[in-house]
Amino acid sequence: MQIFLVRHGITEWNQKKKIQGKMDVPLAPEGRNQAREAASFFGDKDLKKAYTSDLSRARETAEIITSSLGIEPENIPGLREIDMGNWEGLSWEKVGERFPGEQKAWIENPLKSGPGGGENISQAAERFREKVYSITDPVTNHSPILIVAHGLVIGTLVAWVQGKSPRFWREYSPENATITELYRENNTMELVNFNKPV
Protein backbone atom coordinates (compact mmCIF):
# COMPACT_ATOMS: atom_id res chain seq x y z
CA MET A 1 0.00 0.00 0.00
CA GLN A 2 1.27 3.46 -0.91
CA ILE A 3 1.21 6.06 1.86
CA PHE A 4 1.82 9.67 0.92
CA LEU A 5 2.84 11.94 3.79
CA VAL A 6 2.63 15.68 3.19
CA ARG A 7 3.77 18.31 5.62
CA HIS A 8 1.39 21.27 5.72
CA GLY A 9 2.13 24.42 3.75
CA ILE A 10 4.16 27.18 5.31
CA THR A 11 2.71 29.48 7.99
CA GLU A 12 3.75 32.92 9.17
CA TRP A 13 5.14 31.31 12.31
CA ASN A 14 7.28 29.01 10.16
CA GLN A 15 8.54 32.07 8.35
CA LYS A 16 9.29 33.85 11.64
CA LYS A 17 10.84 30.68 13.16
CA LYS A 18 8.35 30.55 16.01
CA ILE A 19 7.56 27.24 17.69
CA GLN A 20 4.03 26.14 16.76
CA GLY A 21 3.33 22.76 18.34
CA LYS A 22 -0.39 22.25 18.83
CA MET A 23 -1.12 25.97 18.50
CA ASP A 24 -3.63 26.38 15.68
CA VAL A 25 -1.70 28.66 13.31
CA PRO A 26 -3.24 29.11 9.82
CA LEU A 27 -1.47 28.83 6.49
CA ALA A 28 0.26 31.89 5.09
CA PRO A 29 -0.69 32.89 1.52
CA GLU A 30 2.51 31.19 0.34
CA GLY A 31 1.41 28.04 2.14
CA ARG A 32 -1.85 27.96 0.21
CA ASN A 33 0.10 28.30 -3.03
CA GLN A 34 2.34 25.43 -1.93
CA ALA A 35 -0.72 23.27 -1.25
CA ARG A 36 -2.10 24.02 -4.71
CA GLU A 37 1.23 22.98 -6.23
CA ALA A 38 1.21 19.78 -4.20
CA ALA A 39 -2.30 19.02 -5.45
CA SER A 40 -0.95 18.70 -9.00
CA PHE A 41 1.15 15.72 -7.91
CA PHE A 42 -1.89 13.69 -6.91
CA GLY A 43 -3.92 13.99 -10.10
CA ASP A 44 -3.00 10.49 -11.28
CA LYS A 45 -2.36 8.74 -7.95
CA ASP A 46 -5.82 7.15 -7.54
CA LEU A 47 -6.23 8.33 -3.96
CA LYS A 48 -9.33 6.98 -2.27
CA LYS A 49 -8.85 8.25 1.28
CA ALA A 50 -7.18 11.22 2.93
CA TYR A 51 -6.50 11.91 6.58
CA THR A 52 -5.27 15.08 8.22
CA SER A 53 -4.29 16.54 11.55
CA ASP A 54 -7.20 18.62 12.79
CA LEU A 55 -5.00 21.72 13.11
CA SER A 56 -6.01 24.28 10.49
CA ARG A 57 -2.64 24.50 8.74
CA ALA A 58 -2.76 20.78 7.96
CA ARG A 59 -6.51 20.64 7.43
CA GLU A 60 -6.51 23.45 4.87
CA THR A 61 -3.54 21.90 3.07
CA ALA A 62 -5.44 18.60 2.84
CA GLU A 63 -8.61 20.30 1.66
CA ILE A 64 -6.76 22.14 -1.11
CA ILE A 65 -5.03 18.94 -2.25
CA THR A 66 -8.21 16.86 -2.29
CA SER A 67 -10.61 19.50 -3.62
CA SER A 68 -10.39 18.23 -7.20
CA LEU A 69 -10.21 14.53 -6.28
CA GLY A 70 -13.69 14.04 -4.87
CA ILE A 71 -12.29 13.06 -1.45
CA GLU A 72 -13.22 14.55 1.91
CA PRO A 73 -10.21 14.43 4.26
CA GLU A 74 -10.92 12.99 7.70
CA ASN A 75 -9.71 15.05 10.66
CA ILE A 76 -7.64 12.99 13.12
CA PRO A 77 -6.48 14.71 16.35
CA GLY A 78 -3.86 11.98 16.85
CA LEU A 79 -2.00 13.28 13.79
CA ARG A 80 -1.30 16.62 15.47
CA GLU A 81 2.16 18.08 15.89
CA ILE A 82 3.98 17.56 19.18
CA ASP A 83 2.54 19.60 22.05
CA MET A 84 5.24 22.16 22.78
CA GLY A 85 3.58 23.44 25.94
CA ASN A 86 4.86 26.75 27.24
CA TRP A 87 7.36 27.07 24.38
CA GLU A 88 4.68 27.70 21.77
CA GLY A 89 4.86 31.10 20.14
CA LEU A 90 8.51 31.56 21.11
CA SER A 91 11.70 31.40 19.08
CA TRP A 92 14.37 28.89 20.10
CA GLU A 93 16.42 31.81 21.46
CA LYS A 94 13.51 33.01 23.61
CA VAL A 95 13.02 29.49 24.98
CA GLY A 96 16.64 29.59 26.13
CA GLU A 97 16.05 32.91 27.89
CA ARG A 98 12.78 31.96 29.59
CA PHE A 99 13.16 28.23 30.15
CA PRO A 100 16.91 27.46 30.16
CA GLY A 101 16.55 24.35 32.32
CA GLU A 102 13.86 22.85 30.09
CA GLN A 103 15.84 23.67 26.97
CA LYS A 104 19.00 22.07 28.38
CA ALA A 105 17.09 18.91 29.35
CA TRP A 106 15.50 18.74 25.87
CA ILE A 107 18.89 19.03 24.18
CA GLU A 108 20.36 16.30 26.39
CA ASN A 109 17.46 13.84 26.21
CA PRO A 110 14.42 14.88 24.14
CA LEU A 111 13.02 11.35 24.40
CA LYS A 112 12.30 11.87 28.09
CA SER A 113 12.31 15.64 28.57
CA GLY A 114 9.85 18.04 26.98
CA PRO A 115 8.59 21.58 27.32
CA GLY A 116 6.63 22.43 30.45
CA GLY A 117 3.02 21.38 29.92
CA GLY A 118 3.87 19.59 26.65
CA GLU A 119 5.02 16.26 25.26
CA ASN A 120 8.45 14.75 24.89
CA ILE A 121 9.63 13.22 21.61
CA SER A 122 8.82 9.65 22.70
CA GLN A 123 5.22 10.53 23.53
CA ALA A 124 4.62 12.39 20.28
CA ALA A 125 6.35 9.73 18.17
CA GLU A 126 4.37 6.87 19.71
CA ARG A 127 1.07 8.72 19.37
CA PHE A 128 1.69 9.55 15.72
CA ARG A 129 3.05 6.12 14.78
CA GLU A 130 0.12 4.31 16.39
CA LYS A 131 -2.38 6.49 14.56
CA VAL A 132 -0.64 6.10 11.19
CA TYR A 133 -0.49 2.33 11.63
CA SER A 134 -4.17 2.24 12.54
CA ILE A 135 -5.40 4.22 9.54
CA THR A 136 -3.14 2.38 7.09
CA ASP A 137 -4.22 -1.08 8.25
CA PRO A 138 -4.14 -3.20 5.05
CA VAL A 139 -7.17 -5.15 6.26
CA THR A 140 -9.35 -2.05 5.89
CA ASN A 141 -7.36 0.08 3.43
CA HIS A 142 -5.84 -1.04 0.14
CA SER A 143 -5.61 1.99 -2.15
CA PRO A 144 -3.05 4.81 -1.91
CA ILE A 145 -3.62 6.98 1.15
CA LEU A 146 -2.80 10.64 1.80
CA ILE A 147 -1.84 11.81 5.29
CA VAL A 148 -1.26 15.53 5.90
CA ALA A 149 0.56 16.28 9.14
CA HIS A 150 3.53 18.11 10.64
CA GLY A 151 7.30 18.22 10.40
CA LEU A 152 8.40 16.81 13.74
CA VAL A 153 5.97 13.90 13.92
CA ILE A 154 6.57 12.94 10.29
CA GLY A 155 10.29 13.10 11.05
CA THR A 156 9.96 10.69 13.98
CA LEU A 157 8.01 8.21 11.85
CA VAL A 158 10.49 8.26 8.96
CA ALA A 159 13.39 7.91 11.40
CA TRP A 160 11.69 4.85 12.89
CA VAL A 161 11.04 3.35 9.44
CA GLN A 162 14.76 3.84 8.74
CA GLY A 163 15.64 1.95 11.92
CA LYS A 164 16.71 5.00 13.89
CA SER A 165 15.61 6.53 17.15
CA PRO A 166 12.93 9.25 17.03
CA ARG A 167 15.55 11.59 18.50
CA PHE A 168 16.94 11.84 14.95
CA TRP A 169 13.71 13.41 13.71
CA ARG A 170 15.49 16.52 12.42
CA GLU A 171 17.25 14.46 9.74
CA TYR A 172 13.89 13.28 8.45
CA SER A 173 11.67 16.31 8.98
CA PRO A 174 10.37 17.28 5.52
CA GLU A 175 10.07 20.80 4.20
CA ASN A 176 6.66 22.41 3.90
CA ALA A 177 4.31 20.88 1.30
CA THR A 178 6.77 18.25 0.09
CA ILE A 179 5.89 14.60 -0.61
CA THR A 180 7.25 11.69 1.42
CA GLU A 181 6.18 8.24 0.24
CA LEU A 182 6.13 5.06 2.31
CA TYR A 183 5.11 1.57 1.26
CA ARG A 184 3.42 -0.75 3.73
CA GLU A 185 3.17 -4.51 3.39
CA ASN A 186 1.54 -6.25 6.34
CA ASN A 187 3.17 -4.60 9.37
CA THR A 188 6.34 -3.48 7.61
CA MET A 189 6.90 0.00 6.19
CA GLU A 190 9.71 1.14 3.92
CA LEU A 191 10.72 4.57 2.68
CA VAL A 192 10.24 5.09 -1.06
CA ASN A 193 10.69 8.86 -1.48
CA PHE A 194 11.57 11.55 1.05
CA ASN A 195 10.97 15.30 0.99
CA LYS A 196 10.14 15.34 -2.72
CA PRO A 197 9.31 18.84 -4.02
CA VAL A 198 6.52 19.31 -6.54
Report the catalytic residues.
8, 81
Closest to 6 measured CA to CA, from 73, 83, 90, 91: 73
Indicate the angle between helix axes 56-66 and 29-41, nearest 10 degrees: 40
In sequence order, the 6+-apart residues with CB closer than 8 A to the CB of 39 are 64, 65, 66, 67, 68
CA 23 – CA 198 distance, rounded (Å)? 27
CB burial string 3-23: b at 16+ within 10 A, e below = bbbbbbbbbebbeeebbbbbb
Kindly tell me the number of DSSP H helices and DSSP E strands found in the chain. Answer: 7, 6
- Which pairing describes strands 74-75 and 49-52: parallel, antiparallel, or unpaired? parallel
Q: Decide if 144 contacts 71 (C-beta within 8 A).
A: no
Rg of the chain over all Cα atoms, to the nearest angstrom: 16
Measure the CA dihedral 65/13/106/161, to 10°: 10
